[in-house]
Amino acid sequence: MRSFAVAFSMYSRLPMPQWPWEEGDLEYVFCFFPAIGLVEGLFLLLWWQIGGLLGLEGLFLAAGLVLIPLLVTGGIHMDGYCDTADALASHQSRERKLEILKDSHTGAFAVIACGGYLVFQLGLWTQAAADGLPWPVVVLLPVVSRSLSGLAVVTCKNARGSGMLATFSTAVVGRRVLVTLAVWLAAACLLLILGARVRGTAAAAGALAVYGYYMCVSHREFGGITGDLAGWFLQLCEVGGLLAAVLAGKAAMVLCG
């Protein structure tokens, strides 16, 4: 339970008990990482339902769906997305890219990437709301993204060997955490497929495709993963899964029509 509290304290802004962390408190942190995604998904669904009751439509409903993940997480993953966008856009050596990830300053490419991401996500949520996206996709996609992110932490080399992610990954009890994350992932994907059929299957496939891209880019460009790269992946995974679900829904409508 101390690992549960540490996970929510580190990766969300939800209130949790506070105390000085000890090494043993970090062993099972990533077992509970997907649970943060489940909470985020339930908040998204709640806003969706409130919007339906109040007759909210279009951009206003979609804007809430864009902002809720940032409010739940405090923007920690978006910070990693922006830092990684700066590093990739630099086209520098691997060592220089890792230095850019550590730099606390925000570059122009980070601002451009963040703005483009939020605009694109706003458009996706607007379309998804208009099409009536099945609720399992809304709730479970954040679970899938965090399950995959946690699996990468347990199984992949850390590019830097230092930092918060390295601290957590060093403390992880590998096999137990790996099995727990695999169960989270399998359960979420199964529920997506059973509960949302075509669009749920597409969302799961889209998330897995982004994971493959993440593995390729992180090892080729950085020599492994870091906390910033994990945030970059999580943001891409959620928008990639949503994009796949929206496109699959449109394709099914065309074929059936």
Percent of residues, the chain, with pLDDT higher than 90: 75
Report whether pLDDT(19) > 80: no
Residue 64 banded pLDDT, cuts 50, 70, 90: very high
Please give the pLDDT value at position 172.
58
Mean pLDDT, the chain, whole residue set: 91
Give the domain range for residue 119: 2-256
Please give the pLDDT value at position 256.
84
Least confident of 21-25, 148-152, 160-164, 244-248: 160-164
pLDDT per residue as tens digits for the range 190-223:
999 999 999 999 999 999 999 999 999 999 999 9
Report whether pLDDT(129) > 90: yes
Two structure tokens written together for 148: 């995959």
Task: In whole angstroms, give the CA distance from residue 102 to residue 247.
Answer: 36
Task: In whole angstroms, give the CA distance from residue 212 to residue 95.
Answer: 23
Report whether pLDDT(8) > 80: yes
Please give the pLDDT value at position 130.
94
Mean pLDDT of 242-252: 96
Q: What's the chain's length in residues?
A: 257
Domain count, the chain: 1
- CA-based R_g, the chain, Å: 18
Percent of residues, the chain, with pLDDT higher than 70: 93
97: three-class secondary structure by DSSP: helix
pTM, to two decimals:
0.93
Q: How many Cβ atoms are within 10 Å of 243's Cβ, its own excluded?
A: 20
Q: Are 184 and 247 in contact (CB under 8 A)?
A: no
Nearest of 192, 188, 191 to residue 203 by alpha carbon: 192
Report whether pLDDT(77) > 60: yes
Residue 250 banded pLDDT, cuts 50, 70, 90: very high
pLDDT per residue as tens digits for the range 158-168:
877 655 555 55
